[in-house]
A and B are shown apart, each in its own frame.
Chain A
Amino acid sequence: DAGVIQSPRHEVTEMGQEVTLRCKPISGHNSLFWYRQTMMRGLELLIYFNNNVPIDDSGMPEDRFSAKMPNASFSTLKIQPSEPRDSAVYFCASSAGTGNSPLHFGNGTRLTVT
């Protein structure tokens, strides 16, 4: 089991540019989550999908953020246009979605917007 795979590991971009983060969940998992980690707020849930359908996007900061899950093995989080305050570590996680099955996190993408 390769675990949750995120790419890229690091992204440095200039303000105003479009950023796309990618995630491959664990095969067979039907729930996928995008979290953002900052020093001040810890891990914040941005959005989660169940069976490829967005269930709760109330954590998405604003319209500059969008997420898609076109199939069970791939999801993207896009920021357009990016701003310096978006700098953070973005984690993708997946779970089997049955009862209280734990979340399995990827190693994150560290985003720096200059």
Chain B
Amino acid sequence: DQQVKQNSPSLSVQEGRISILNCDYTNSMFDYFLWYKKYPAEGPTFLISISSIKDKNEDGRFTVFLNKSAKHLSLHIVPSQPGDSAVYFCAASGYFGNEKLTFGTGTRLTIIP
């Protein structure tokens, strides 16, 4: 049973446009959410996070939005750059912080020059 779902396995976006990656979760106990980025043959690297007490967190070109009532979060990348081409994983954790992260299956983002 996937508690964190990324329903789009892949996404292609033109360079300079906005990339929007989506994530849904089913466990209402999750209160901290993260996005990780993964290049081929490398491990995932932390990108951005958001606590359930917020509905938006911004870091440069990256913004994460959280809609608790819909159990949905999204990652916006503006403007998209070729170096953003990677697999993006959504992750969630419960009350005890990120000691136990539950990951989605990932979305492969391709930025078209």
Binding site for B on A (CB under 8 A): 4, 31, 33, 35, 39-45, 48, 50, 55-56, 91, 93, 95, 97, 99-108
Q: How far is the CB of B86 from chain A (nearest CB, A)?
A: 13
B101 is contacted by which of A39, A40, A45 (Cβ under 8 Å)? Answer: A45
Complex CA–CA separation, A40 to B22 (angstroms): 18
Is the pair A42, B104 in contact by a Cβ cutoff of 8 Å? Answer: yes
Is the pair B99, A50 in contact by a Cβ cutoff of 8 Å? Answer: yes
With A93-B43, A100-B32, A102-B46 in contact, is A42–B97 under 8 Å at CB?
Answer: no
Is the pair B99, A41 in contact by a Cβ cutoff of 8 Å? Answer: no
Chain B residues with Cβ below 8 Å from A45 are 100-103
Complex CA–CA separation, A50 to B98 (angstroms): 12
Chain A residues with Cβ below 8 Å from B106 are 42-43
A107 is contacted by which of B43, B91, B103, B105 (Cβ under 8 Å)? Answer: B43
Complex CA–CA separation, A65 to B89 (angstroms): 25
Chain A residues with Cβ below 8 Å from B29 are none
Q: Does B42 contact A (CB under 8 A)?
A: yes
13 contacts between A and B (CB under 8 A): A40-B105, A42-B89, A43-B89, A43-B103, A43-B106, A45-B103, A55-B99, A91-B43, A103-B101, A104-B46, A105-B43, A105-B45, A108-B42
Complex CA–CA separation, A68 to B46 (angstroms): 26
Is the pair B98, A48 in contact by a Cβ cutoff of 8 Å? Answer: no
Chain B residues with Cβ below 8 Å from A91 are 43-44
Complex CA–CA separation, A107 to B41 (angstroms): 7
Chain B residues with Cβ below 8 Å from A35 are 103
Chain B residues with Cβ below 8 Å from A104 are 46
Complex CA–CA separation, A38 to B32 (angstroms): 24
Q: Does B34 contact A (CB under 8 A)?
A: yes
Complex CA–CA separation, A101 to B96 (angstroms): 11
Q: How far is the CB of B38 from chain A (nearest CB, A)?
A: 8
A48 is contacted by which of B32, B36, B91, B99 (Cβ under 8 Å)? Answer: B99
Chain B residues with Cβ below 8 Å from A41 are 2, 105
Complex CA–CA separation, A23 to B89 (angstroms): 22
